[in-house]
Amino acid sequence: MSWLGPSGATHALEGDVEAIKELTGGGADHAIDTTGVVAALQQAYRATRPGGTTVTVGLPDPAAEVALPAQSLVAEEKTLRGSYLGSCVPRRDIPRFIELYRSGLLPVEALLTHRIGLEEINTGFDRLRRGAAVRQVVTFS
């Protein structure tokens, strides 16, 4: 997990919930899981402070279930929410994304790890499964 301060990432802690709580004075205000791995989501939730929000955007195996201490939802007033494809409202958000891109504030190229032809589609899925790709574009030429 990375700790994001006002100027970006200030610390990187791998799997150490207690260190995150110590570093942040009780837990992260917001923890975001992008992995789709149940254990990582549970860890992000544990690292979230009382009153904080944990967001998951990763898609886990459809058969996977998450076990969390139910009392913490009420007693610690924690929020757990999902975000599918950024919970985007295209009519509102796409013009905003275009403006951010044009102004240099949304570096789309940094997210693109591979350009592949349709004949490489299975290789592309294998990369995603292994975590060896972030985003891939299928080109038709």
pLDDT at 2 exceeding the cut of 70:
no
pLDDT at 100 exceeding the cut of 60:
yes
Q: Which domains does the chain have, with CATH numbers?
A: 2-86 (3.40.50.720), 90-139 (no CATH)
Residue 103: band (very low, low, confident or very high) from pLDDT cuts 50, 70, 90: very high
Whole-model pTM over 0.85: no
The beta-strand segments (E) located in the chain are 2-5, 8-12, 28-33, 48-56, 79-82, 112-117, 135-139
For the stretch 26-53, pLDDT in tens is: 998 988 888 888 999 999 999 999 999 9
Cα angle for residues 49, 50, 54 (degrees, 5° grid): 60
Per-residue model confidence (pLDDT) at position 80: 94
